[in-house]
Structure 1
């Protein structure tokens, strides 16, 4: 099967037997002791967004809840809106902060600023310092998991715990499916050829020709408002198009090369939550992470769930986070 840019990333329709349309994991649901708060829609999320001036630019972030801080790191090409359901679930327990990466979402990048992975980590530290936050519990997905590992390696005292969902690892970064994306970005064609067609036709975005079938478990995802919230800022100007491509280019060569030895020295509690329907990252990666982190609390797999499942299964993500934080 062809692995092309997100405009042609279909790998076949979602099988009817993957999860059987389990509605219990969808955004805004609550049962069995889960939070009774509801996820913000796009209008509420936009209204809650703040901008923090740093040397990296004006960092867009949304926060919700109270207590110790949980830092939620989104994937590519999404933004903090990915975490709206998880934030609702965890708001009674943590002050949840979801920033947008340099080059993605609504962050306003300073002129001449790199958007490579090392710069993303520097931005996170600047954000935490400006907010007066010493330590965080990190929850991460996709390229956010890559940044989370770099953060733990370089600034171990800043991270209390780490919950990783499907993401890059030293043995799979960039994954083969993303290489065509990077090549298109180097030609200056990825953003401009990928996102306008999906903004123009949301059903196309949810099809096997867009981001939907490849990255989301359920056919109703991404929703109309998610498509607009994720993709619109990526192509709103020539500079944003350039930055979106630059983000992709920064994923190669492997930003995690050689990090394993350092991660083996980090004793923070780590939990891995992995969707087995993901065809982008290697199915060997969760067990690799489990071996690398000396205080790993093991791997839980969600059968059939695809790459961006934290958006679709916020209750499962929150349950694993609470279990990790309790030391259970």
Structure 2
């Protein structure tokens, strides 16, 4: 299967649905019918910034947004995004759950303690501590991309703390990290990931929306993304040399395979897990959702979203909310 390199910097053809202007009319109709946003995306940056809190613990200052009450839902974002990815889903699900969306260490607005590791295993430990601080015993997890890898580690390390899991396009053991991420990891080894891969998207938002930018390669409708959205995700990562180094560390933490050995544990899992997968994703293999469905001990099946790209949860909050409520039984 031919796949572009991560964030689309290598040559290759555009995946179907990667740009709204280029998407076939039938695909656009299918996306709209599935609950995708075919109009201008809601930004909401000011409100999200105002809602941000920080939890101080041994891992550093952990940024998170919390809304709602009742049983808790934990939202785990992708790379190089942050909790802002889930704003639309939180809007729709906060009437039913206490929604908590933290920023992973090394990304977003979280400030890790000096010398703190930022691997997926480190993220699991941080999340456990954060939940304890927030007096949360059990959660429903909703996750995307590298956040999905963290979710799988969390649910197999602390199964007693997880009620349900909703996974979207993400790493799986045989595809972690996916080959397309290789150039990112190589740039991180040279200490150049943020400068070479992220800074151009902040400097030139038209580039960011192009097939070679973050938006054009990983979002379904990049032309509808506000300038502030790119800044929300990337400005904190490129703000200082220290933050750039943390982003390098995050990328390096994706290798060797952080999910090595997790398959037998997933097979034994009794946690109800539902999978939603965008077919426009060129980062993860088309076989990955089938693998998850076959491997998870209590899989609730797969829903395919035609033409949706890797970071579709931001663009398809109605789909996330619909599937989450079904899984939660509310």
Pick the TM interval, shorter chain: over 0.9
SS in 2 for 1:203: helix
Give the alignment partner of residue 42 of structure 1, picking from 35, 45, 48.
45
The alignment status of 1:108 with 2:111, answered yes or no, reads yes
Report the equivalent of 2:23: 16
Distance (Å, rounded) in 2 between the aligned partners of 1:196 and 1:6: 13
The alignment status of 1:129 with 2:132, answered yes or no, reads yes
Shift of residue 64, structure 1, vs aligned partner: 1.2
Distance (Å, rounded) in 2 between the aligned partners of 1:304 and 1:194: 24
Shift of residue 20, structure 1, vs aligned partner: 1.7
Deviates more, 1:112-121 or 1:217-226: 217-226
Distance (Å, rounded) in 2 between the aligned partners of 1:188 and 1:211: 19
Q: Which has the higher helix share?
A: 2
Distance (Å, rounded) in 1 between the aligned partners of 2:237 and 2:11: 21
Cα deviation digits, residues 227-261 of structure 1 (max 9, x gap): 00000001100100000010000001100011101
Q: Which runs of 5+ in 1 are unaligned?
A: 30-37
Q: 1:5 to 1:190 in 2, by over 3 A?
A: farther
Shift of residue 219, structure 1, vs aligned partner: 3.3
Q: 1:7 to 1:197 in 2, by over 3 A?
A: farther
Distance (Å, rounded) in 1 between the aligned partners of 2:174 and 2:225: 29
Q: 1:147 to 1:171 in 2, by over 3 A?
A: same
Report the equivalent of 2:162: 159
Report the equivalent of 1:34: none
Distance (Å, rounded) in 1 between the aligned partners of 2:207 and 2:258: 32
RMSD over equivalenced CA pairs, Å:
2.0
Distance (Å, rounded) in 1 between the aligned partners of 2:166 and 2:5: 29
Distance (Å, rounded) in 1 between the aligned partners of 2:84 and 2:39: 14
Give the alignment partner of residue 303 of structure 2, picking from 275, 300, 314.
300
Report the equivalent of 2:36: 25
Shift of residue 265, structure 1, vs aligned partner: 1.2
TM-score, reference length from structure 1 = 0.92
SS in 1 for 2:28: coil
Give the alignment partner of residue 53 of structure 1, picking from 51, 56, 63.
56
Distance (Å, rounded) in 2 between the aligned partners of 1:28 and 1:325: 29
Deviates more, 1:195-204 or 1:246-255: 195-204
Q: Which runs of 5+ in 2 are unaligned?
A: none
Give the alignment partner of residue 79 of structure 1, picking from 79, 82, 91.
82
Q: How does 1:249-268 map to 2 (within 5 A)?
A: 249-268=252-271
Q: How many residues align?
A: 319
SS in 1 for 2:62: strand
Distance (Å, rounded) in 2 between the aligned partners of 1:7 and 1:58: 32
